[in-house]
Amino acid sequence: MMKIAVVGATGMVGRIILKVLSERSLPISELILTASKRSIGQRISWGGSDQIIVGLQEALDACPEIAIFSAGGSVSKEWAPKFAANGTTVIDNSSVWRMDRDKKLIVPEINADSLTKADKIIANPNCSTIQMVLALLPLHRNYGIERLVISTYQSVSGTGVAAVQQLENERNGVKGEMAYPYPIDKNCLPHAGEFLDNGYTTEEVKLVNETRKILGDERIRITATVVRVPVIGGHSEAVNVALKKEFDISDIRKELAATEGVVVQDNVDVNVYPMPLFSEEKDAVFVGRIRRDESNPNTLDMWVVSDNLRKGAATNSVQIAEYLIDQKLI
């Protein structure tokens, strides 16, 4: 039994972390919840009782064995090292530590076996990266990936509560705060994150850099376009994969179906294919529209969908915690 802290417990991802923790069998003796200063003293129902929100210093002083952070980059940058120095293993959902050479970027089904007791700050990848690399795993292992061309169709919940509220306001004809520079209802925005000097956005660069780090191959050529769409939950991705070896599509389907965490939904004869509508509140990564790219040798296309708040954030974090506990790395 151990103490587990959730930093950012009242946020959109934080609340899903609490839900996932309640669904799974982690040996929790005490749950320590923190949030912004204005939330201190509030109560959240969990595990049949009310949990009181405390401040970060109080959570630090409680010496939890694991702290799952989902409170934004500035909080993680300041407080994750403090928790780590105090002996806590931090699992961080922000982008602060992902590309740090000394920090591991973990999708448990892929590279959890690289973790050791010395890893006190562990980075959780971006939501769109997690679902894609899980689908890419058997392809890279069996054929080697040469190049990826990625187009994402990301839900507004990936931006946060303000974006969800903007979409709902627009659908209801209500004027309110704008999370985006344009309306999102009945629209698509080819703009997620901040634009960089090379014309890409920070969200697109995350897909490039994080994919290479997780798969352990800097030679993979990757380009990405990230689009925000008027969907509340669930990210979708069209992924074009150029492989180093020839393949049979039936083998690809079998290998994907045998991959932990992946569900193949690919029967176009009866209109079976992944959709965000049916991915919500599920932990799987759904893959369909698997077909050969007839314009390029050794290349295929696939459609990848997952709940960005669960496997894309909360569930992946909790799975990392489970692995640490199971392997006695805490």
For the annotated catalytic residues, the residue numbers are 127, 235
CB distance 308 to 235 below 8 Å: yes
Tokens of 114: 């690289």
Which residues, 6+ apart, have CB-to-CB distance to 207 below 8 Å?
A: 126, 128, 129, 132, 150, 152, 222, 224, 226
Widest pairwise Cα distance in the chain = 60
Strand order in the sheet with 235-243: 221-228, 145-154, 235-243, 299-306, 285-292, 262-264
Alpha carbons 115 and 253: distance in angstroms, whole number: 30
Alpha carbons 198 and 187: distance in angstroms, whole number: 25
SS3 177: coil
